[in-house]
Structure 1
Amino acid sequence: MNEKKAVGEKAADYVKDGMVIGLGTGSTVFYTITKLGRLVQQGLSIKGIPTSLQTEKLARELGIPLASFKEIDHIDVAIDGADEVNPDLALIKGGGGALLREKIIAKAANTFLVVADSHKLVDTLGAFPLPVEVVPFGMEMTRKYLEVLGGSPKLRQNNGSPYQTDNGNYIFDCSFQKITHPGELERDLNLIPGVVDNGLFVGMADIVITLNRQKEIDINMRK
């Protein structure tokens, strides 16, 4: 069974006619967007707000109408993936480099729905290096501040040069090993001058769709 496809397509059930949808980035939500494209061709009326240029390109290819924040005043449902999910539905996101736009869209959504295969479920966040988006100016100092907080930052590369986000920023992938207090770390990281945002999404996910051990769809709601 293709877990990503199963949970990704299940998320499309939460999309209704007339909704504004936040379209996430990644290999699992790809299946959500692909199914939404088929539904649009069958008459579903929605508007999408993409979290990345990559997702924008995919949505246009599938014929999904797009909107911007200038045109809408709310998002009904944002659907996105995650790199790690803990039992409290706190997330690590940003492996695809779109964490800032993903967080802006998730915050603006009435419902933030996360799709994740079972391998993304963890007891404690941190095995996946935490992405931290930083402005290029002064990044050497920003790196030092990240180390003070206990991280081991590694500048993300792309073909031998620093990886650039869609916003023109850089990303430090920070190994923290175990993140036992993700809310505190999220706050402390964002207090560092030069940090734009980080990939901890705490208290944001309303629903997480995954598969249980019996390979059946499992829907978890934030308490």
Structure 2
Amino acid sequence: MANIESKRRVALAALGHVKDGMVIGVGTGSTVSCFIEILGERVREGLKILAVPTSHQSAILLAEQGVPLTTLTEHPSLDLVVDGADEVDLDLNLIKGGGAALTQEKIVASATECLIIIVDSSKVVKRLGETRGVPVEVIPMAWKLVKYKLEKKGAKVVLREGMGKAGPVVTDNGNFILDVNFPEIRNPDNLERELNSIPGIVENGLFVGLAELVYVGNDKDLKVLRKK
């Protein structure tokens, strides 16, 4: 697990891209929470930006830090987006959705040409799917049907249960999350399209070709992965 210094290191690196007058997207997760805290410090020191959050969680954290919020309705094109990831391969493809915010995260990520990902070194893998499954957001009435269709393709599928509550996790969009483990992910691009072609699936946690650069932190230093 990443320590606070590692998270702060990558958060500061991402903050170096944020300039006065920008409209930025802000993701969800523990590493991004560190970024939000530092961003709030800079805003209180005079940095003038607007932020589009990807979840209720990040919206609350941004507001608590005094960062002005806006929406994609008002600003459909963003200067940059800072987000985390659950896995990153060497081609900068991602698995996201551990925090169940994958649909809004992908929408916001698509609104910029500069998606910056901040992670610790444990999130870097040779091939997606090595350490976790692919989160899939589904319409509640269709979850069992989608599970059945994916299991027919050889996947192991689990309905994500809530922590501290009975029943499934419910996303900000009112949907359920399936965590889908495939025997092997050879072509993330094809799999992303294939998943979204199944009726009932709203979006999936494969982010292919979206990240511009990834800051990877560990206990001692910082590594930068750039889009080839």
204, 222, 226: which is aligned to 1:221? Answer: 226
User: Alignment length, in residue pairs?
Assistant: 222
Write the deviation string for residues 166-222 of structure 1: whole angstroms up to 9, x where unpaired.
00000001111431211111110000000001000000100100137x832111110
68, 91, 101: which is aligned to 2:94? Answer: 91
Report how far residue 69 of structure 1 moved: 1.7
Write the deviation string for residues 118-170 of structure 1: whole angstroms up to 9, x where unpaired.
00000111121110000011221111111133321100111221110000000
Distance in 1 separating the partners of 2:36 and 2:142: 37
Percent identical pairs in the alignment equals: 46
Aligned residue in 1 for 2:151: 147
Aligned residue in 2 for 1:102: 105
Report how far residue 71 of structure 1 moved: 1.4
Distance in 2 separating the partners of 1:208 and 1:27: 16
Distance in 2 separating the partners of 1:207 and 1:177: 28
Distance in 1 separating the partners of 2:40 and 2:217: 23
Whether 1:38 and 2:41 are equivalent positions in the alignment is yes
Whether 1:195 and 2:198 are equivalent positions in the alignment is no
Distance in 1 separating the partners of 2:11 and 2:152: 38
Distance in 1 separating the partners of 2:172 and 2:195: 21
Provide the aligned C-alpha RMSD in A: 1.3
Distance in 1 separating the partners of 2:141 and 2:204: 17
Letter in 2 for 1:141: L
Q: Contact (CA 8 Å) 2:84, 2:117: kept in 1 or not?
A: yes
Report how far residue 35 of structure 1 moved: 0.8
Whether 1:112 and 2:115 are equivalent positions in the alignment is yes
Letter in 2 for 1:202: V
Structure 2, unpaired ranges of 5+? none
Letter in 1 for 2:136: V
Q: Secondary structure at the match of 2:41?
A: helix
Letter in 1 for 2:161: Q
Q: Secondary structure at the match of 2:151?
A: helix
Letter in 1 for 2:223: D
Aligned residue in 1 for 2:81: 78
Letter in 2 for 1:201: F
Letter in 2 for 1:175: N
Q: Which moved more, 1:135-144 or 1:89-98?
A: 135-144
Distance in 1 separating the partners of 2:117 and 2:124: 12
Whether 1:168 and 2:174 are equivalent positions in the alignment is yes
Give the TM-score normalised by structure 1. 0.96
Aligned residue in 1 for 2:161: 157
Q: Secondary structure at the match of 1:139?
A: helix
Distance in 2 separating the partners of 1:73 and 1:52: 17
Aligned residue in 1 for 2:132: 128
Give the TM-score normalised by structure 2. 0.94
Q: Secondary structure at the match of 1:196?
A: strand
